[in-house]
Structure formats: structure tokens, C-alpha cells
Amino acid sequence: MSSARPFAPFEWMIAWRYVRARRAEGGVSTMTWISLIGIMLAVAALIITLAVRSGFRTELVDTILGANAHVTVYQTPNITQQGSLDRTISDFDAVAQRITTIPGVTRAAPLVRGQVMANFGDRNTGVEVFGITSENLSGVPRVADPIESLGQLEDFENGVAIGYEVARELGLTVGDRIKLISPNGVRTAFGTSPRVKSFTVAYIFRAGLHVIDRTRIYMPFEEAQLYFNRDGVADEIEVMVENPDEIMDYTLPLMQAGGERAVVWTWQDGSRSALRALTIEDNVMFIILAILVLLSAMNIVSGIIMLVKNKGGDIGILRTIGLSEGAVMRVFFLCGAGIGMAGTFLGVILGVTFVIWIQEILSLVNYVSGGGVWDPSIRGIYELPAELRAFDVFRSVALSLFLSFTVTIFPARAAARLNPVEALRYE
């Protein structure tokens, strides 16, 4: 037997016999099940966590890019004759035209922006108004093709488009008239009086990001110019590009097209802290769950040590009839590795199934707990996202198998070095 090739059939047979042995036969079936279940739950938890983190990042980025400018072009302050600072763009049409000629730019839309108070009945809330043309608004993906909508986007020129949460907060629906109150209104001899004007709600959209649905109102561009005292000017140019991930490649051409006072602000600049936080959380969660997998794999060590102790006489007999140290080591290595592989396989099935049915599971938990498990006002999105990626599953499996195989080597080596004489002394 000492000359038999590694992992010969008889080694697999002995390993299988030891793993499935009952306690009355000197086996450690209880520890086997504990080790297997521990590995299964740890791998499933790792896959679920990575899927949720990937889904959260994808959903956040997709919503940001679908409802916001990829790049915003504005101008540095200019001191007017009255001594005030002016950031507006007077030749916005020419600037937008130059920007659209840049390769990769899909849209350049002049905007008028302002923060106002929205009122309906006895309810009030702060909102941000975006003045934009109907043509350009139809090019905003999360507004033109939202998760949920009321009214027709074609009616935008006859009113305003408001976010879903704004409508819910104020109790509005399509056809109602919303009152907008701006502190920067008409200048009189007694100071500046607030500007108050009512608009018909023509369209209600649900972009999918709570902070957008909670604060955003779109107003026809020319109407916004009149309302915010921006006659003949725009506040900024909203730019969309084909490849937002390579947004830094567009900054220099955009600054050149915007003129000598142009400044650019990319979506990555605005979301840098959130994206960095997600990256840090991804790394930390992977490390924490890797430790959880390691702790689960350590149960295999305990099980193999108990198995070696219970099978000391068998080891002595096997060594006496000619089994080599390497063969004994491989037998017990196969015991631990088999538990690790089985637990990993079951963990993949459990984790993938959980991710596929995650919304239904979350709804059940929400129902059992009485609601409030997922608060979009805190987390920013309306449901728990999950994106199953092959790479995440692969690295979860690789980590589990690596740890399972590694920790099994040490008790297997101890079994191989067991002295046959000492093992058979008390038999």
C-alpha cells in the first residue's frame, strides 16, 4: 500500500467510512454535522452580503446617473456693476452647442436652479426647482422612464413635474395646483418681497432615489427664468455622456468648450464620499465574513482531532499492515476537505436561493415584524437591492475551500505522525 498512488480509491473509501460513522462505531457524526452546517451558513452569509453590497452600489450609481447630470458646467463668479457676484451663463445656447460637438457627449441642457418652499393647503416642504426644456427633460432616464409615474410627460409645458415623495408629503395629485414661494422675489423700496406663484402639477415621477423624489421639481425653462429673475441667462449646463465611468476624460474638453470662466463638476465629485464609503464597507464586510468562515472551518479541526483520537487503534492497524504516513494523512485530509466541500456547495445553494428570493423574504420579515424593516428615507432607495455576480460567488467558494483545506492539514499531519506502537498499546 505504501507505493499506492496518492488519493487512491481505498483512501477515499476509508475517509468516507470515517466521516459517516455513527458515534456507537467510534465516529463523530455530530461534529461532522456541526462543521458542515457552520460552513454552509458562513458561505451563504458571505454570498448574500456581497450580493447586497453589489446591488446597493449598482442601484445607487444607476439612480444617480439616471436622474442627475454626469457633468455640470458652470462659471466662476463675476462681479457686476452693482458689486454683486454673478455666476449665470448668458450665452448658454452657444455653450451648449459647443459641448454637444464633443465626441461622447449625448446631451447638453441649460438649467435654471433654485430652492423654494412648496405649499399645498396647510402643508409645506422645501424643494429644489430645476428649470429645463421639455425636450431635455425627456432625455433624463429616471424621469422619462421612472419606476412609477402619474400624468403625461407631454403635458410638462403646461405645468410642473414633481417627485413622488413631494406629492406624498403635500398630498398632491395630477391636476392640483402647487404653490411655490421664493424668498428672492420682487425688489421694492422696502426690500425684497417673496415671490409666490401657483403651478399645475402635470406629471409625478418616482426616480427610485428617495432624496431626489423628496426634493425635486422640474419647471419649464422659460417659466423658471421668469420666476427666478434669470431673464436671458442660465445657471449651469447639464451634460450627459456615453461612458460615465470614464468621466474624467471629458473634463478638459468640456472646460475648453465652456469658455475661460468654465468650471466642471462631475457625478463622481458629488458622490465621492458615498462611493468611498461603499468601497470601505465592502472590504470590511468581506474581512469580517472571511473571519466567520474561518471560525466555521475551525470546527472541522475539532471534528478531525476527535476522529483521530477515536480512530487511534485503526490508525495503528493501518500503519502496521503497510499504510504510509502520507496515505494516513490523505485519509484524514479527505475527511475534512469533504466536509468543507459539502458545506460550501450547500452554502452556495442557500446563498443564491436567498438572493433570488430576497424581496419576498424581506416582505415576509417586514410582515412578521409589523413593518418598518426597510426605511427608504434613511437608506435612500425603496427596496433592498441584490445583484448576484459570478465573481462574488467564485471568491466566496475559493475562500471557503482554501480555509477548509488549510485547517485540515494540521490534524491530518498529526494523525499521520501517530506512532503505531503507542496507538495499539491500550487496544
pLDDT tens across 179-210, in order? 999 887 666 655 566 888 999 999 999 988 78
Q: Are residues 371 and 229 in the same domain?
A: no
Residue whose C-alpha is closest to residue 15's, from 292, 250, 323: 323
110's grid cell? 441649460
* 177 within domain boundaries: yes
Q: Give the tens place of pLDDT for each residue, 383-426.
A: 677 888 899 899 999 999 998 888 888 877 777 666 665 555 55
Which of 194, 229, 260 is the last residue before a domain boundary? 260
Could you tell me if 312 and 361 lie in one domain? yes
Would the CA dihedral through 393, 399, 402, 403 be positive or negative? negative
Q: Can you tell me the mean pLDDT for 330-335?
A: 79
Query: Is position 120 within any domain?
Result: yes
In a domain, 294, yes or no: yes
58 plus 87 within the same structural domain: no
Asked if 355 and 51 touch (Cβ cutoff 8 Å), the reply is: yes
Q: What average pLDDT does the structure give for the chain?
A: 82
Q: Answer yes or no: do 303 and 206 share one domain.
A: no
Q: What percent of the chain has pLDDT over 90?
A: 32
Q: Is residue 207 part of a domain?
A: yes
Considering 260, 294, 314, which residue would you say is the last residue of a domain? Answer: 260
- Is residue 70, in this structure, part of any structural domain at all? no
Q: What is the pLDDT of residue 413?
A: 78
Assess if residue 2 is contained within a domain.
no
Residue scoring higher pLDDT (120 or 183): 120
Residues 24 and 154 in one domain: no
Final residue of a structural domain among 237, 260, 283: 260
Local structure of 383: helix, strand or coil: coil
Does 230 share its domain with 142? yes
Lowest model confidence (mean pLDDT) among 17-31, 224-238, 338-352, 412-426: 17-31
Residues 188 and 96 in one domain: yes
Judged by phi (left if over 0) then psi (alpha if -120 to 50, else beta), residue 254 lies in: alpha
**Per-position b or e across 390-401, b if 16+ CB within 10 A of its CB:** eebbebbbebbb
Residue 69 belongs to a domain:
no
- Dihedral angle sign, alpha carbons of residues 101, 106, 111, 113: negative
The structural domain count of the chain equals: 2
Question: What was the pLDDT predicted at 378?
Answer: 52
List the grid coordinates of 11.
483512501
Task: Examine the domain organization and report whether 116 and 243 are in the same domain.
Answer: yes
Q: Are residues 212 and 246 in the same domain?
A: yes
Q: Do both 138 and 98 map to the same domain?
A: yes
Same domain, 408 and 314: yes
**Could you tell me if 208 and 121 lie in one domain?**
yes
Q: Which residues pair with 265 in a beta bridge?
A: 72
Band of the pLDDT at 329, cuts 50, 70, 90? confident
Cell of 321: 499492515
In a domain, 71, yes or no: no
For residue 291, what are the domain limits?
9-62+274-424
